Structures are given as C-alpha cells and as structure tokens.
Amino acid sequence: MSRLAIIEKTQSLIASGDIVGAESALVELADKEGDGALVEVLAQLPPKDILAVIREYDPSKESIVNLLITPEQFARAVVIEKRYKDLTRTHLRGMVNSVIFREDADPIEFLTAVGDLEGGAEALADYFTEKWSRIEAFARTGTFDYMEDDGQMISESALLASAYARPVLQHDEVSDQDWMELAWLLRYQLPDLFTEMLLVLRAKAARGEDAEEDEEEEGDGKVNLSETDFGRVTTVVLDSDEESAI
C-alpha cells in the first residue's frame, strides 16, 4: 500500500472514530517498511489527526506513534487539545507524560517546542490545573507541600528571580515522569515558560474559565466530550474552517 493510501486510510479511520484501527494501520506501516516510513507519514498528517491518536494513550502498552513524534509535531497537537471538552485533563496529562518522558526524549526540547507556539503556555496551564495550589507552593517555597506555604502568591519578578536559586528539591527526588518532574524542569530549566504558565494558571482560576467556556460555547456548534475511553468516538470542538477528524 502506498504512503498516500496509508494516509487516506488513517484519516478515514480517525474520521469514523476508530482510533485503535488508525494506530494499528500506522504500526503496520512501521512493521513492514520501518520507522522512517512512519515518520514520513506522520509529517504529512495534520496536527488534529496526530492528536486524535496520541491523546488516546494507553499506559498498558507502548505506542510507536508516541515514540516517533517530533517535538514540533507534538507541540502543534498539544496546543489544539483544548478543543476537546475534557475537563478532567486525563488525556492531556497522559499524552504529555508518555511523549515528554519517553526513553530517548529530551524533555526540554519538547517543552521548548510547546512554549514557542501561541497557546503553549495555556496548554501547560491546563495540564497543571488540578495541581494549582501545589504549583503555587513550589513556586514560593521550592517544595510541593502547600501546607508549608503561607498562601500568598509570589510576584512575576520574584518568580523569575527564584528560578535561579538553588533547588530545594533535587531532580532525582521528583523524577516521577509526571507533573512534579515536569514542574521542576519548567521552573529550573525553562523559568520564563514556567512563569508564563503559572500566570495563565492564575488567570484561569481567577475567572473560573471552565465554567465560562461552557456558557460561551453553548449554542455555537461546539459540544462537550461525550466518550473518552480508548478507541471510542470522541466529540471535538473544531474551528469553523476545519472538518472533524474524530
């Protein structure tokens, strides 16, 4: 089967909601023609189709797509993940962790690619939404124990200044390949992005953005996520000039 046929088959399966089938088609290509062939196909798929596959990350198995996606492809997918109305952020956290912390990856390279795109800081803020108090404590005290924090929010200038202080926690103490390690990497290796992310997170919390988005988007063709299990049809919020890939 030609590369064009593989692309068309993959997009058709995604459009029908068969995400497992789409990933299987990509895996079959890699098995038959090598990883290089899959890399070429991924480069030709639109970000929304790549996102449809990688956001359905299953921690019980290794995904060849997640292993081969480039930082730039990953970043473009991450910044449009908000189009899914997944208020739990389960899929966002799963795909971010699976790609950024894969064995051969440089997490900083992936995070930098995300930060370089418009909407990157917002995507990272979404990732940390449920850990806001712990991230605030980390920004102020260098630990994630919000019980030790006085509840005051550190200023933007103080945030940037503190990024160059000696870490209270060492990297190996937070190497959980999850939100703590991601926060540590951002604060101490990408302090500008960490600061931008935290300011966005504060703004989102202050205005209760999730509730507002539900109200604003009701009635304009944007709908909530209905199914999020692996391989099941998921409804996605799309811009008016895009066709659904889900």
**What pLDDT digit, counting tens, does each position of 120-141 carry?**
999 999 999 999 989 999 998 8
Using 70 as the pLDDT threshold, list the residues of the chain that sit under it: 1, 147-151, 209-246
pTM score of the predicted model: 0.80
The predicted structure's pLDDT at residue 59: 75
Sorted by where each begins, the domain ranges of the chain are: 128-212
Q: What is the pLDDT of residues 195-231, one digit of tens each?
A: 999 999 999 888 776 533 433 443 333 323 233 232 3
d(C-alpha 173, C-alpha 94), whole Å: 21
Eight-class DSSP state of 114:
H
Instruction: Tell me how far the alpha carbon of residue 78 is from its chain's centroid.
Output: 4
d(CA 161, CA 47): 36
pLDDT at 210: 52
- pLDDT of the residue at 74: 97
In angstroms, rounded to a whole number, what is the distance separating the alpha carbons of residues 177 and 152? 28
Q: How many residues does the chain have?
A: 246
**16 touches 234 (CB < 8 A):** no
